Structure 1
Amino acid sequence: MTTRILYSLCGADESRPFSPHCWKVVLALKHKGLEFEERPTPFTQIPDLEGGFSKTVPILRDGNELIRDSFDIALYLEERYPNRPTLFGGEGGKALSRFVERFSQSIVHPAVTGIAVADIHDMLDETDQIYFRTSREKFLGKTLEDMRSGREAAVSAFAAKLEPVRQTLAHQDFVGGDGPLFADYILFGALQWMRITTGAKVFAPDDPVGLWFERCLDLHDGVGRSVTAA
């Protein structure tokens, strides 16, 4: 019986975990070849997990160890399992991943939010919908209906925001180089979040970023495709 548990985020349907941060950890665990049990959890039940260990997911329980935050989990896995495939390829890869994390959080996540936030609300059960609407409308300064009305414009503007990634992928198959590293999983998580919650088509068929995303969906026996697009 595995003692490795990943607590992730879901809406009313537990079979459709969608958190970008949790998807980063799913691919990191697969990259390391580590078995785990995923336990998708609704927003309002997260504070009850592991005695209130964290207000957010992902949370990883690895035996007696509890770790929160996707980046901290990746660092833990790299240190705890050094003889398994590396997530960073050294200190330079950690620095690259920190840059990609900031790019994703400051540029990509707000863009996905503009597309997905109303759809995410619709995926939740009633209790979570009340929490989500209140917290997100306060944060965004707009109603979910206002966000939904701007969705088409947000979809049209999305691809251009990834131009630095597009130019990088002109020289290599992955952000991490010849093969994927945690830097790839960070950006993958954001696009997987959008894929599962909205299914929005944001890339032209020949867009290098879209083609890279398809390669990432195929990694680790296609775990990214285990949840279908909306």
Structure 2
Amino acid sequence: MTRTLYALCGTDRTRPFSPHVWKTKLSLAHKGLGFDVAPVGFTEIPKLEQGVTKIVPLLRDGDKLVSDSFDIALYLEHAYADRPTLFGGEGGKAMARFVEGWSQMTLHPAIGRIAILDIHDSLEPVDQTYFRQSREQRFGRSLEATAEAGKADIETFSMKLEPLRHMLKFQPFIGGDGPLFADYIVFGALQWARIVSPHRLLTAGDVVSDWFERCLDLYNGLGRSVTAA
């Protein structure tokens, strides 16, 4: 069966950067499922698969199309129930929902402000126009003003990781002895920052940095297949 993962990229089509795509890449690897990556720019997304989605990742698995990283994880868990679990049961699904909320409400906004100009500069011109218009509308100010505000986020970012730092004192992964989808959620956010921005948000020797390095090593170093900015 042919699997295709549509992944958001900039000018360099070998550097998918979406945090949500990275969740799905590790989810597929976790299940031991092969896939091809189809790179797309922001303005190409509405044209995919006859306009089935406005977001990526979008996974084509045979004749099945699934968008949204969490929905894809749920689909993979059900469709490939005989393969390693992404959640470890209903409690793991509930935990992943909480982790996703924390990541998207706490980590994503800060990374978005820190890296906003780096993301813009990595895009094709047509996508730069879309990105500027959509993000300036979202933030209510220019990209440059948002980036200026992001300087403060660099200084305070480590504090946002304190809940994760505390938990990792007791276990090597959010999922316990091994990774689950909850790990891939947070990894996706930090991988996004690693790929698009030269700012280093993790400190060597920190338990969070050690966890991130373990995640980069998973599945024959899948996370390292794209180098840091």
TM-score bracket relative to the smaller structure = over 0.9
- Paired position in structure 1 for 2:100: 101
Task: List per-residue Cα deviations over 1:152-197 (Å, max 9, x = no partner).
Answer: 3221111100100000000000001000000000000000000000
- Paired position in structure 1 for 2:175: 176
- Paired position in structure 1 for 2:88: 89
> Structure 1 counterpart of 2:142, which letter?
T
Structure 1: 4+ residue segments shifted above 4 A: none
> For 1:41-190, what aligned pairs fall within 5 Å after superposition?
41-190=40-189
In 1, are the aligned partners of 2:139 and 2:146 still within 8 Å (CA)?
no
> Structure 2 counterpart of 1:62, which letter?
D
Helix, strand or coil at the partner of 1:175: coil
For residue 148 of structure 1, report the CA deviation from its aligned partner.
2.4
C-alpha distance in structure 2 between counterparts of 1:148 and 1:119, whole Å: 9
Q: Provide the aligned length of Structure 1 versus Structure 2.
A: 229
C-alpha distance in structure 1 between counterparts of 2:54 and 2:75, whole Å: 19
Give the unaligned 5+ runs of structure 2: none
Cα RMSD after superposing both structures: 0.9
Query: Structure 1 length normalisation: TM-score?
Result: 0.98
> For 1:183-222, what aligned pairs fall within 5 Å after superposition?
183-222=182-221
Q: Percent identity?
A: 59
Helix, strand or coil at the partner of 1:6: strand
For residue 40 of structure 1, report the CA deviation from its aligned partner.
1.1
> Structure 2 counterpart of 1:90, which letter?
G
Helix, strand or coil at the partner of 1:60: strand
- Paired position in structure 2 for 1:5: 4
In 1, are the aligned partners of 2:20 and 2:69 still within 8 Å (CA)?
yes
Helix, strand or coil at the partner of 2:153: helix
Give the unaligned 5+ runs of structure 1: none
Helix, strand or coil at the partner of 1:150: helix
